[in-house]
Structure 1
Amino acid sequence: MWLELGVSVLLLLAVLQSALLLRLWRQSMQLQQRIDLLSHETSQAACTDVPTSMLVTALGRVERQMQQIEQQMQQIEQAPPPPTHQAYELAQQLAREGADLEHLVSRCGLSRDEARLVMQMHPANS
């Protein structure tokens, strides 16, 4: 009697274990199908992202060009304004009076080359 009862319990446990394994196997198959579906959708999405990647690349180029333009604008804004007509007249007068190169540059806002040219064109009266 105990032997029959023990065999019956073992048989019942084997049946329950088989049912549990069958259920887990079905769940794993469903998960595999979901993975395959997501993988397929992802590969299709990657195919349509080619134009998007091109847009991202183009956007990066445009941003770099904008930065270069902004830097050039800052350099232009920081550059001293060009001398006015009055500054040239003052430089001519100072050159005739014998002012040196540094004096023309600092007082009239001329570049060193402009100051040299003014001094050559309007030599000091001796």
Structure 2
Amino acid sequence: MADTSFDIVIVGGGPGGYVAAIRAAQLGMKTAVVEREHMGGICLNWGCIPTKALLRTSEVYGLIKHADSFGLSVKEVSFDPKKIVERSRKVANQLSNGVKGLMKKNKITVFDGTAKLAGTEGALRKLAVAMNDKSN
């Protein structure tokens, strides 16, 4: 990859990283984020958000199972674990795409890969980015 200069490079696109990147861009800095997996971080993609989507499904299931207490009659209730997980992933993907949209809106360059310090040049710090293999 050719040398590219930025005022600030944020390593990690989780809630701390993407918020810092947006603020830096708003302050007029040429900004980049290096993210190894999905924008939004662990909570958004694998923890809090997908878990809440799964919990909401169980809440809806419980409400349906007790529909008679609401004066409703439901003949049969079943669940499909595969579809439940698919919905959870869809929710997480939508929010991750929202973070990507914020990066684009704020003209932030996103590198899909990993970063490590690669030396100094006077007061400047160099960062080497290993791009993720897109062939998978």
TM interval, shorter chain, is: under 0.3
More strand by share: 2
Which structure is larger by alpha-carbon Rg, 1 or 2?
Answer: 1
More helix by share: 1
Q: What TM-score do the two structures reach when normalised by structure 1?
A: 0.27
Relative contact order, higher structure (CA 8 A, sep 6+) = 2
